[in-house]
A and B are shown apart, each in its own frame.
Chain A
C-alpha cells in the first residue's frame, strides 16, 4: 500500500495524471496572413492546460487540417498551403516572436506565450527566425519555454538607448548582462553593422529574415524597404528608423533598433510599444508613422 501511494505521488510530481491537466495560464493566439497584414481569425486568449501544445491550442480555436500524422498544418479556416504564380504559400508560427525549432504538435506551452500563425509567401525568405510583432515578448517571458533577461547594447545610440531601456522595463523585461540575455542593439547602422547578428541584414531576407537593408549613397547610409519578393521597393529618407529582429544559429533572438542617423535611431526607439509593433515582422518609422515591413 505504501509503495503504491509513493508510486502515485512520484507520478503526480513527474507531471503525470488523467486528462488534460491543470490550467497553467493564458496564452494568446493570433492568426494572420501575408506577413501580418490581414487577420484570418479574431485574436483570442485561451487558458492553456498542462498537456497543451501549440497545435492543440490552434485546433481548439480554429478549423484546421493537418498532414504527416498531424504534425504539419495544411490549412487554417479554409486557407490552405498553395503555389500561386510560382510562389509558395504556407503557414508558419511564432511563439513569443521566435520561429520554433520544432513542429506545432511538439511545442509544449508553459503559460503566458504569444502564439502567432501567419500564412505567407516564403519564396524570398524560407526562414524568418524572429519577428517583432509579439512585443512585449520575448522580453516579458522569454522564448522556447525558458525565461531570459534582456541586455541593451548601446552602440552610439545616445538618448535612444535610455528610451529603449525604459520601454523594455515597463514591458516587464529584466535588464541584465549575461550570456543567455536577449540582446537589443541600439545605434546607427554604421556602428551596428559590425555586429555579426546585425550583419545578417547585408545578406538579404534569405539570411536575416528581415525585409530591409541599408544601402550606401553619397549622403551615407540609407534604409531600403523590401517587398515580399525580396526586391527593393522603396528608399526611405535619412530620418527613417528601423526596428527588426533576427537570429544567428541557435543563439538568442537579436533585436535591432537602428537607422542611418542618430535621429532615425531615436525615432526607432520610440516605436518600442505594443501599438506600433503588433503583428508586424519588422517596422520602419517615417515621419512618426510606422511602416510595416515587408512593403506591400
Chain B
C-alpha cells in the first residue's frame, strides 16, 4: 500500500506552485511553531497546516502526520513528566528511581511537555503536507545550482532506497514460493543478496552518470521554467504568517511560562496570530475542488 506521505501529483494550486513558493508557505507554519510556546498558537498552527493539507487534497497525509505527531506528543508528555520534577503543583510522588533521582510528577512539567509535543505535532503535520504536495524531484532540481553533489546524492537515495525495498520484497516472496519444506530464508542471506545487488546497480548508475557527463562539472542553469500563477498567494500567505509571528514575538504576544507555576495569557496579539495561522491554511483552496 502506498505511503500516505508519498508525493501525489495533482492538478491543484499547491502542487502546481513553484518549489520556492510551496516551501516558503509550508515552512512559515514550522517557523511559527518554533517561535511560539503559547498552546493556542501551536494548536492554531496545527489546525492551519491540517487545513492546508485538506484544501490541497492531501488530507490523508495531513491526518496521518497529525496521528504520528500526537503519538510523539504523548510520549514527550510522559517522558517530561517523569524526568522533570520542577513546578509548584505536585500531582504524584513516585519516590526515588535509578538514574532519574526523585520523581515528582507536576502539572507544570506535564504542561511543558504538552507544549513541546504540540510543537512537534504541528511541524509534523506541515511536513506531511509538504511531503505529499511538493514534488521531491523539483526540490532537488531547485537545489542543484547551490549544492549539486548533495542534490545528486539525495536524488539517487530517493530512487535507490525504494528499489532496494522492492528487491527485498521480491526475494522474500521468492523464498516463500520454494514451499514449506525448504529451509527458511535467513535475514543474513537476504541482506548479503541485497548488498550484492545494490553494488551491481551502483556500478550501473555510476556508468550511466559518466556517460551523461555528470563528471564534467557543467554548470546547471537552474529550473527557471517552473513558475505558477498560484505562487503569489502562497508567498503572500506564508510571508504574512511569518511576519505576523515575528512582529507578535517582538511585541510580547507569546506569554507562556511553565515554571515555576503555569502562566498562560492570550493577548490580542496571540489571538491575531492564531487567526492568521488558521486563515493561512486556506491558501491552497480552489473553488469547486474536492478534498481527498
Contact = CB atoms under 8 A, between A and B. Distances in A.
Contacts of A105: 85-86, 259-260
Given A55-B86, A71-B86, A108-B102, A14 B260 contact: no
Interface in A40-81: 50-51, 55-56, 59-60, 64-66, 69-71
A115 to B, nearest CB: 15
B265 to A, nearest CB: 14
A16 B260 contact: no
A60 B93 contact: no
B260 A17 contact: no
Contact of B260 (A15, A19, A66): A66
A101 to B, nearest CB: 14
Nearest to B109: A70
Contact of B93 (A16, A59, A71): A16
Interface in A127-143: none
B72 interface: no
A59 B88 CA distance: 7
B95 A15 contact: yes
Interface in B24-81: none
B97 to A, nearest CB: 10
B90 A11 contact: no
Interface string B88-112: 1011111110000010100010001
A60 B88 contact: yes
Contacts of A83: none
B94 A16 contact: yes
B260 A18 contact: no
Interface string A169-208: 0000000000000000000000000000000000000000
Contact of A15 (B86, B96, B261): B96
Contacts of B87: 70
A106 B108 CA distance: 15
Contact of B88 (A50, A56, A106): A56
Contact of A59 (B92, B102, B261): B261
Contacts of B259: 66, 69-71, 105
A11 B88 contact: no
B93 A21 contact: yes
Q: Identify whether the interface residues of A are mostly helix, strand, loop, or mixed.
A: mixed
A55 B260 contact: yes
B258 interface: yes
A70 B258 contact: yes
A283 B93 CA distance: 42
A20 interface: yes
Nearest to A67: B259
A229 B258 CA distance: 37
Given A59-B260, A60-B88, A70 B108 contact: yes
Nearest to A16: B95
Contact of A69 (B84, B88, B94): B84
B90 A69 contact: no
B101 to A, nearest CB: 8
A75 to B, nearest CB: 12
B94 A18 contact: no
B92 A11 contact: no
Nearest to A105: B86
A70 B260 contact: yes
A106 B86 CA distance: 8
Contacts of B86: 55, 69-71, 105
Given A59-B88, A105-B86, A50 B260 contact: no
A287 B259 CA distance: 49
Interface in A13-49: 14-21
Interface in B173-209: none
A50 B93 contact: yes
Nearest to A72: B259
Interface in B245-270: 257-261
B90 A19 contact: yes
Nearest to A13: B95
A18 B88 contact: no
Nearest to B106: A51
Contacts of A51: 90, 93, 104
A192 B96 CA distance: 43
A56 B86 CA distance: 9
A11 B95 contact: yes
Closest 6 CB pairs of A and B: A70-B259, A14-B95, A70-B86, A59-B260, A51-B90, A15-B95
Given A19-B90, A69-B112, A70-B86, 5 more contacts: A16-B95, A19-B91, A21-B90, A56-B260, A105-B260
30 contacts: A11-B95, A14-B96, A15-B93, A15-B96, A16-B95, A17-B92, A18-B93, A19-B90, A19-B91, A19-B92, A19-B93, A20-B90, A50-B93, A51-B90, A51-B93, A51-B104, A56-B88, A56-B90, A56-B260, A59-B261, A60-B88, A66-B257, A66-B260, A69-B86, A69-B112, A70-B87, A70-B260, A105-B85, A105-B259, A108-B102
